[in-house]
Amino acid sequence: MKIKILNVRTFLCCLLAAGTVSFVSCTGQKKDETKETKEIVIERDSEGNITDFKVYSYEQKDDVVRAAEEELDRMNKQIDEMKASLNDKSERLSAEAKAAYEEAIADLEKSRDDYQAKIDELKNSSENTWEQAKADVNEVYRKTENSLEKGWKNLKEGVENAASDVKESVEDATKK
């Protein structure tokens, strides 16, 4: 009888130990199985345009190329608007002012062309060159976008100042 009770106790102790080991090992696996998630923030400007191309993974290559080309189209429209605005008001500008604005627009077109070249590099990038190509296109995008904003502001101010100078000159000439 003592042997049976001892065997039952031994069996229960072994069962309890095995259960404890199983429980501990299962909870340890759950910690290892949890995946770390990263929050990805895609920056957009007030018009909803993407302003940071670095957040894309290689698997999203088509998306980033499409977004970059959309930004390029928007930049082309802005440059075309600048040219049209300059042409509309060129009669009121001095030759020096007109030449300065034409040079500024040419500089913007060069920046835009640099951006286009980086987009082409991005299109042709491999998974190994993706991070660098993405960083390059982002850097050139920011520079080009800043140049466009400054150029547009300077063009508007310059045309308005030139127009008011012409108006004052005409008024002065009519007073004499």
pLDDT at position 131, please?
93
pLDDT band at 51 (very low <50, low <70, confident <90, very high): low
pLDDT at position 40, please?
38
From CA 30, how far away is CA 161, in angstroms rounded?
A: 69
pLDDT at position 54, please?
78
Average of per-residue pLDDT values in the chain = 75
Q: Backbone phi, then psi, for 44, in 5-degree steps?
A: -135, 150
Which amino acid appears at position 155 of this protein? Answer: L
Check pLDDT > 50 for residue 36.
no
More confident residue, 51 or 13: 51
Yes or no: say if 148 and 78 are a contact pair by the CB < 8 Å rule. yes
Tokens of 160: 């308005």
* Mean pLDDT of the region 136-150: 89
Yes or no: say if 145 and 75 are a contact pair by the CB < 8 Å rule. yes
pLDDT at position 85, please?
85
Max avg pLDDT among 29-33, 107-111, 148-152: 107-111
Residues 6+ away with beta carbon under 8 Å from 141: 53, 68, 71, 115, 118
Q: Pick from 155, 84, 151, 66: which is nearest to 112 by CA?
A: 151
More confident residue, 87 or 50: 87
* Mean pLDDT of the region 79-87: 89
% of the chain with per-residue pLDDT over 70? 59
* Mean pLDDT of the region 123-152: 90
* Mean pLDDT of the region 54-75: 90
Check pLDDT > 80 for residue 139.
yes
Minimum mean pLDDT among 86-90, 91-95, 150-154: which range?
A: 150-154
pLDDT at position 38, please?
38
pLDDT band at 160 (very low <50, low <70, confident <90, very high): low
